[in-house]
A and B are shown apart, each in its own frame.
Chain A
Amino acid sequence: MFSVYAFILCLIGFFALAFAKTRHWKLLFARKLTERKKHALWATGSGSLIIALLFLKTEWGWALGLCFYAGLLSLSMFAVVFSLSYLENRKPKRLRA
């Protein structure tokens, strides 16, 4: 079960890290990305990635946990990239509406 939580945390982590960049922030929010928000997002992102690793360590131990971590990082990053490009494609339509 910890592995599922870890996967969700990895997704949250990468989404937060992505939205800490102005380019991706603009996809969802009209308001400006302030420095403070940027830092908060960055901290949330890195924090959840670290907690994900700790979760995996609890369930599998370091040796297997790190293997799982590498795999889950790849998978979640790929998922985040694709959802961002999906958002990007939708953006013009929403602006028209």
Chain B
Amino acid sequence: MTWLHTWAGLVFCWLLYFMFVTGTLGYLDTELDQWMKPEMKPAQEQNLGQDLSQAVAFLQNKAPDAERWFISPANHRDNPQLRVSWHYPRDSDKSNGRALIDQHNGEELEHRDTAGGQTLYRMHYRLHYLPSGWGFRLTSIFTLAMFIALLTGVVAHRKLFKDFFSFRPQKGKAAWLDMHNVTSIASLPFQLMITYSGLIFAITTWMPFIGVGAYDFDVKSLRKDLNELRGTPRIEASGESAELIDMHQLANNITAQFGSDNKVRFIEIRHPGDRHAKAFVRSHLSGPIQEQQSLQFNAVTAQLENQQKESNALEVRNTFINLHEGLFAGPGLRLLYILSGLLGCIMVATGAIYYAQKRRREKQAPSRQQTLLDILNGGTIVGLPIAICGFMLANRLLPITLEDRADWEVHCLFLSWLATFAMAGMYAHKAMWHKLCLSLAICLLAVPLVNYVSVERGLGQTSLESDPLFVISDWVFLGLVGLSTVVSYFLKRKSLAPSSANQRALQTGQTV
């Protein structure tokens, strides 16, 4: 039974670690997107009417018969470029699409086919290579387990709160436990928030009957009510054509409602070109609690038709989801989100290491199972960051014309991860950790170097004023190179120093 307990616990840790690392990077999804599309420069913020008319002109040319158009003006971190997408009805044989628009000439912006930060972010709840829906089901079960572990952990380890500040790095195994405790207590508010709100995402996945049951299992009427609650009611086309209003006029009407400093997140135009055309407007979040209601305009007369206020239940749900996603966070708060996420990564990683170490018998050489656990632990904990470097390097190194290039970037992520497991397996347990950290340092160094050579937006090639994202990311990478080199050095020194277990093994003639 012990082996099952050990393995179940560790597999839980590894998946959770994957969710934490990719989820933390999710707070930088737009930045990663920009980094992975180096052909594009951030757009200038221009007046809303200009953005809208450019987008509408593009869409009228590209997809005049689509059912819905979405337009996101370039005015916010989440929308660095003017972005449009178009959707056809489900039974149509035409395919939906999206594009980024060049504000200078109104044409589509060309960029390399890339998975981008969004794919990395989506991996933290959908995983990868799994049939649609299964990854999410799996992660939500793990989230529930984590939530239970957090709550019971707080109760079970009440005495931790007495030793609130203790971290004893010299105490061997206990140091891992201390680190685990310190990181989990320090980021407890964040952990509770993130797991609980993560569960809220999964409500309808795991408890579908609560919603449908209230409607006597009539899915259609549930959907209709939900759409109305969300401020996007179903609208039938009339079949008569009518000209869309001037976008400058619509922009003025929006500004009159939202105020000039409140920015539009997106506009949805339903049935463009029809007499029943409607425009739905949503603003950006300014905080976790959504203060702005959505607006509904008649897209032929520009008249304000409806001002939907969300119901209280929906508002509570949205508040939790907003807290989870942190879309409202400015640079300062975003940094705190990332740091809290990193504390979470450290918490899970140290937990996994301690869990494996505790099961080691000091006086014996490690068993085969123990060695396997160590390899998997090292390959997961240090290997995942290496794999993400591989993902970013693939973005720069794969040929631009490669078919399914975006998919190949993700394959490169998992292939390089596999390689780290092989590398972990090649070295004995003692040398493994510092070799892995050293290779992490090399991979981290390779990213800015390859960036320097391949796209010429590296340090010394651009300035902080014109290209803050690329300059800052280079410095962050160099900082991380330094950090992992130092860690690798200390791990090497430690592995060379004879530990008590080592000495005992030497006396009995065994090798460790």
Interface residues of A (CB under 8 A from B): 3, 14, 17-18, 21, 23-24, 61, 63-64, 67-68, 70-75, 77-78, 80-82, 84-85, 88-89
User: Closest CB of chain A to B103's CB: distance in Å?
Assistant: 31
Q: Of A23, A67, A74, A89, which is within 8 A of B343 by CB? A: A74
Residues of A within 8 A of B343 (CB): 74, 78
Confirm or deny: B193 has a beta carbon within 8 angstroms of a beta carbon on chain A.
Answer: yes
Closest to B338 in A: A71
Complex partner residue of B187 from A17, A21, A74, A82, CB under 8 angstroms: A74
- A81 touching B288, Cβ below 8 Å: no
> What chain A residues lie within 8 Å of B332 (beta carbons)?
3, 68
Q: Which residues of B contact A61 (CB under 8 A)?
A: 287
Look across to chain B and name the residue whose beta carbon is closest to the beta carbon of A15: B165
* Contact for A71 among B167, B183, B185, B339, CB less than 8 A: B339
**CA A71 to CA B343, docked complex, whole Å:** 11
List residues of B whose CB falls within 8 A of some A CB.
Answer: 164-170, 182-183, 185-187, 189-190, 193, 287-289, 323, 328-329, 332-333, 336-337, 339-340, 343
Tell me the bound Cα distance from A88 to B340 in angstroms: 25
Instruction: Please name 4 further chain A to chain B contacts, defined as beta carbons within 8 Å, in addition to the given A70-B190, A72-B336, A88-B168, sorted by A numbering.
Output: A70-B189, A71-B336, A75-B336, A85-B168
Say yes or no: A63 contacts B336, CB within 8 Å: no
Q: Assuming the A-B contacts A67-B333, A81-B165, are A74 and B288 also in contact, with contact meaning beta carbons closer than 8 angstroms in the complex?
A: no
Number of A-B residue pairs at CB separation under 8 A = 75
By the criterion CB–CB under 8 Å, are B183 and A78 in contact?
yes
CB distance from A62 to the nearest CB of B (A): 9
Q: In the assembly, what is the distance between CA of A84 and CA of B165, in Å?
A: 8
**Residue in B166, B288, B337, B340 whose beta carbon sits within 8 Å of that of A63 in the complex:** B288
Q: B230 → chain A, closest Cβ, in Å?
A: 21
* Interface contact A24-B190, CB-CB below 8 Å: no
Q: Cβ of A82 and Cβ of B288 under 8 Å apart?
A: no
A-B contact pairs, 28 of them (CB 8 A): A3-B332, A17-B165, A18-B165, A61-B287, A64-B287, A64-B288, A68-B332, A70-B193, A71-B333, A71-B336, A71-B339, A72-B336, A73-B186, A74-B187, A74-B339, A74-B340, A74-B343, A75-B186, A77-B165, A78-B183, A78-B186, A80-B165, A81-B165, A81-B166, A81-B182, A84-B166, A85-B168, A85-B169
Residue of A nearest to B175 (CB): A85
In contact, A71 and B340 (Cβ under 8 angstroms): yes
A73 in contact with B169 (CB, 8 Å): no
- Are A18's CB and B164's CB within 8 A? yes
Which residues on the A side are within 8 Å of B339 (C-beta)? 71, 74-75
